[in-house]
Amino acid sequence: MVFWERLLNKQFQVSQLMRHLSLGQTTDRLHPCITISRETGSGGRLVAQQVAQALNFSYYDKELVNLIAQSAHKRRELIKAVDEKTQDAISSIVNGFLGLESLPESAYIKSLTKVVLGIAASSSAVIVGRGANFVLPKETTLRVRIIAPLATRVYYSRLYHKDKTDVELIEKMRQIHQDRKEFVRKYFSKNISSANFYDLVINMEYYHPPEACKMIVAAFNKRFIK
């Protein structure tokens, strides 16, 4: 059992794990990874997929929810409901599902951390969202933030939601951003939008996904490919 597994099997404290990671106690056991945090509708998912393909890395986004569900031994539907949200906001909804027990927030974040570290311990990967940039140590991680102005985000959102009006898309993006912001603030005590927590911030107003992909690949190679 490696160090981070022993730590996670103890009484779980996110702050304790973060201190150990910042001291570099696990960096020699983790493969270099890329985390991509994105504004909703910025095209960050497209960029992440292209980066993973260009580097031949594993790609984790929605797939991460399934891994967390397996780790937590809970039903996938419930894990997905809690994902990137605080449970207070959805507890009444969760309780309405017959047969689904409530998932303690500490259990979810513990499983999330275990899965993210497990991914990095296994191989290099591109991990989208889920606060992964706050879990993995900066010494082994290229931390990317993808942003875009509102018009660009509406454009990319329409690729996935063709049946919604602009007003509906904007409201949906606002709510998702608020959920993600609160998730990171509550569990990692960080501001998801602060550039200080990223190595590279790309504004998609000026770049197409293939161009952003090339920048990320170049930045990763410069740091980690000797």
Per-residue pLDDT, 81: 55
Distance (Å, rounded) from C-alpha 190 to C-alpha 178? 14
Residue 159, classed as helix, strand or coil, is helix
**Which strands form 141-147's sheet, in the order they lie side by side?**
58-60, 125-128, 33-38, 141-147, 200-203
- The answer to whether position 12 is within a domain reads no
Is a pLDDT exceeding 90 seen at residue 101?
no
Query: What domain range is 70 assigned to?
Result: 34-224
136-186 pLDDT, tens digit each: 888 999 999 999 999 888 888 887 788 888 888 888 888 888 888 888 888
Is the pTM of the predicted complex or chain greater than 0.85?
Answer: no
- The answer to whether position 95 is within a domain reads yes
- The answer to whether position 11 is within a domain reads no
- The answer to whether position 190 is within a domain reads yes
**CA-CA-CA-CA torsion for 159, 162, 165, 169, nearest 10 degrees?**
-40
Q: What percent of the chain is modeled with pLDDT above 90? A: 28
Number of domains the chain is built from: 1
- The answer to whether position 141 is within a domain reads yes
Q: What is the CATH number of the domain that holds 102?
A: 3.40.50.300
Per-residue pLDDT, 85: 54
Distance (Å, rounded) from C-alpha 173 to C-alpha 222? 34
Residues in Cβ contact with 226 at an 8 Å cutoff, skipping those fewer than 6 apart: none
- The answer to whether position 20 is within a domain reads no
Residues in Cβ contact with 2 at an 8 Å cutoff, skipping those fewer than 6 apart: 26, 29, 121
Is a pLDDT exceeding 50 seen at residue 92?
no
Average confidence (pLDDT) over 90-105: 43
- The answer to whether position 18 is within a domain reads no
